[in-house]
Amino acid sequence: MQKNIQVCLTPALISLYDLSNSIVVVIDIFRATSSICYGIENGAEAIIPVATVDECRNYGRGCLLAAERDGKVVEGFDFGNSPFSYTAEKVAGKTIVLTTTNGTHAINESKKTAYQVIIGSFLNLDAVCDYLKAAQKDVVLLCAGWKNKFNLEDTLFAGAVVHQLKGEDYFLDDSSTAAEDLYLLAKDDLKAYTGKTSHSERLKNLGIEKDIEFCLNVNTTQSIPVLKGDKLVRLG
């Protein structure tokens, strides 16, 4: 049976999509979903995405509290969304409460109606694609973007997924076609291509170039974070 792949280029458009029979892959490459994939791979028990800094602050003791706004750790918090804060030594066995500028917003927008919400990044690209192929569901690739606007790096990852899935009897919408073509332009040097983005320039100014490089590693993790209730946990 033919299934659909659609790329939703920003969370501001998610209400246009019927998610009831879709697996939604939330994508925030720089850096929330890369860090979530890395943290779950490294044994974090759960990551709880929340919308606001206050909600994060009010969470019970025993959790690690992570808050990022405009690329910086919010004052008074254990850490933000740098992947280097999500090593096994820091997160194994822990529950992390996380709020970010774009990524957690996208997760919360999609969870209202989706069949299932999973988390994707270049780190777990093949794992995500293999899971989607086996699941035989419609797919919505939800780019977190930047403050509800389009960004390149999330779209490139969406294109990488489209590229792996398109041989499998999916119908592609226009944004899937565009995302795949952009990915094919970029794939041989993701770092150079994403260096063209306005967001990358902003991240460089924050002195987090090592984070950016880390988030462009492909297939370094195997686990897929999946939303169960309000928590992201390891699938399967």
What is the DSSP code string of 44-111? -SEEEE-S-HHHHHTSPTTEEEEEEETTEEPTT-SB-S-GGG--HHHHTT-EEEEE-SSHHHHHHHHH
70 is an interface residue for a copy of itself by CB under 8 A: no
Backbone angles phi, psi at 68, to 5 degrees: -125, 135
Q: Which stretch binds a copy of itself (CB under 8 A): 56-64, 65-73, 170-178, 217-225?
A: 170-178
Show contacts with a copy of itself in window 85-104 (CB under 8 A): none
The residue behind tokens 């565009």 is 178
Is residue 147 close enough to count as binding a copy of itself by CB under 8 A?
Answer: yes
* Interface with a copy of itself, residue 10, by CB under 8 A: yes
By the rule CB under 8 A, 235 interacts with a copy of itself:
no
Residue 41 burial class via C-beta count within 10 angstroms: exposed 0-12, middle 13-18, buried 19 and up: buried
Q: Give the separation between CA 11 and CA 39, rounded to whole angstroms.
A: 23
163 binds a copy of itself (CB under 8 A): no
Is the Cβ of residue 31 or residue 38 nearer to a copy of itself in the bound state? 31
Is 12 a binding residue for a copy of itself by CB under 8 A? The answer is yes
**Residue 53 binding a copy of itself, by CB under 8 A:** no
What token pair was written down for 125?
């690209």
Shortest approach of a copy of itself to residue 19 CB, angstroms?
14
Q: Which residues here bind a copy of itself, judged by CB under 8 A?
A: 7, 9-10, 12-13, 16, 146-152, 155, 171-175, 177-178, 181-182, 185, 196-199
